[in-house]
Amino acid sequence: ALFPRLQPCEVSITMTDGTVHTDRMDYPMGDPRNPMSPEQMENKFDGLADGLLSAGANKNVKRAIDQAEAAPTIRELMETFVADL
């Protein structure tokens, strides 16, 4: 069995002209074995946060994540995630 060593997924898309495009991935995007780039992570966050967070809150959350290691306390870090939604 492939699982859990691999978590394969194969997708085939058939175009209107009959052409078939197939791709397979052994690990999902974001898995440590197939990591996302910082740009991909930011784009995913923006897509998920769109319509839920104000532009200001989105910016504040990103800043807090970028500076998380420098936060004096976890409380100050977490306040960023609940303020200005």
pTM score: 0.68
- Using left for φ > 0, alpha for ψ between -120 and 50, and beta otherwise, residue 68 falls in alpha
pLDDT for the residue numbered 49: 94
| The predicted structure's pLDDT at residue 70 | 87
pLDDT digit string (tens) for the chain, length 85 residues: 788 889 999 999 999 999 999 999 999 999 999 999 999 999 999 999 999 988 988 998 899 889 888 888 888 888 877 755 4
Give the pLDDT confidence score for residue 83 in this predicted structure.
56
